[in-house]
Amino acid sequence: MDLNTLNSYHFETGPIRPPSEAYSLLIRATRNCPWNRCRFCHTYKGQKFELRPAEEVIEDIKAAKAISDGIRDFAAGKKFAGGVKDAAAFAYSLLYASDCVRQVALWLWAGGTSAFLQDANSIIMRTPDLLSVLRSLKETFPDLNRVTSYCRSKTAAKKTLSEMKEIHEAGLTRIHIGMESGSDAVLKLMDKGMTAEDHIQGGQNVKQAGIELSEYFMPGLGGRQLSDEHADQSAGVLNEINPDFIRLRTLSVISSMPLWADVQSGEFTLQSEDEMVREIGRFIQKLDFTGELKSDHILNLLPELEGKFPQSKQACLDTVDRYLSMPLKERLNYRLGRRAGLYETLNDIFDAAKYQKVEQAMQRTRADSEESVDALIAGIKESFI
């Protein structure tokens, strides 16, 4: 099948997916977010939520299958040494390949074993429609071993346990929930539209259905005013749920978010990088669960803060203490180097060449204080969101 034919197949994709789904096949089951009021989020502002007809989504699945088959046929005909993987890499690199072709090619290159249903809360679909989509996806791509979706806690709580079990049996293996905070005060401040109890009920419903659960905690979301409560009560809620994964997503505020106005007016006081590290340390200290902590986003300053709990808990706390005990000059160097993409872990600060490169950048930009470095970093962070 030639490129022009592959480019003729189209399926719809949404704007975001979790970092852990970077190599998943993206299937847009719903458009945008049904709540869309959270003050820390800008992704769907100005967009209307829509339930896509199941038949339309299934047609998209068929289009993705046609592209996949075309790339596989190409691999067989051209006899690439690396088989489908090399053919997928070649298709991805073609200058005039469509976004859909590249998306399927990337998925095949990575093994073609996972899929993610977009957008913000696809579990809100009528259960029969969602079941039809999931069954079609599994029948069309029988090699899928992971199918995931975002979901709001209230939606997970409103589905009956019987419905959630049916959804699992139809092929959904993991749900991502943006808890953000377990503090009712913070949830109200951010117009999250739910309570800590909603989070607990929704999370427990997912777990009881046998579906893997990935919950998100957002360091910094309480600002300076509610930092301790945010850390303590978030850990408490997560301890009750006992999710399979807890993922850190550090708060960063940009001008397109409603929260920006509160920052500018002084109503909400952002924490410094060091204050957020302390908050994360307090949060980890309070955690008592048996899943995995993940720090898989560039907004997180310390990617080492992850591992299976409770086994990795002390190592994570030791990393927090190690960072906070460093001299200010080294902390500033690390912060800028991490945000600029030079440092991947705290140990990279011992790379003399990288350290010197960051020092030179600080000198050029006259970033010689905590305030000036944080101002420089704020500009860099905008590209991460």
Answer yes or no: is pLDDT of 39 > 80: yes
What does the pLDDT look like over 106-135, one tens digit per residue?
Answer: 999 999 999 999 999 999 999 999 999 999
CB 293 within 8 A of CB 306: yes
Rounded mean pLDDT, 262-291: 97
What is the 3 state secondary structure string of the chain? CCHHHHHCCCCCCCCCCCHHHCCCEEEECEECCCCCCCCCCCCCCCCCCEECCHHHHHHHHHHHHHHHHHHHHHHHHHCCCCHHHHHHHHHHHCCCCCHHHHHHHHHHHCCCCEEEEECCCHHHCCHHHHHHHHHHHHHHCCCCCEEEEEECHHHHHHCCHHHHHHHHHHCCCEEEEEEECCCHHHHHHCCCCCCHHHHHHHHHHHHHCCCEEEEEECCCCCCCCCHHHHHHHHHHHHHHHCCCEEEECCCCCCCCCCHHHHHHHCCCCCCCHHHHHHHHHHHHHHCCCCCEEECCCCCCCCCCCCEECCCCHHHHHHHHHHHHHCCHHHHHHHHHHHHCCCCCCHHHHHCHHHHHHHHHHHHHCCCCCHHHHHHHHHHHHHHHC
Answer yes or no: is pLDDT of 202 > 90: yes
Domains of the chain and CATH, by start: 3-326 (3.80.30.20), 327-385 (no CATH)
pLDDT at 1: 65
Closest CA relative to residue 39, chosen from 243, 245, 265, 281: 265
Residue 248 φ then ψ, to 5°: -85, 130
pLDDT at 4: 85
Report CA torsion sign: 319, 321, 322, 327: positive
Answer yes or no: is pLDDT of 151 > 70: yes
The pLDDT-based confidence of 311 (bands split at 50, 70, 90) is: very high
Rounded mean pLDDT, 68-96: 88
Answer yes or no: is pLDDT of 85 > 70: yes
This prediction's pTM: 0.94
Rounded mean pLDDT, 169-174: 98
pLDDT at 177: 98
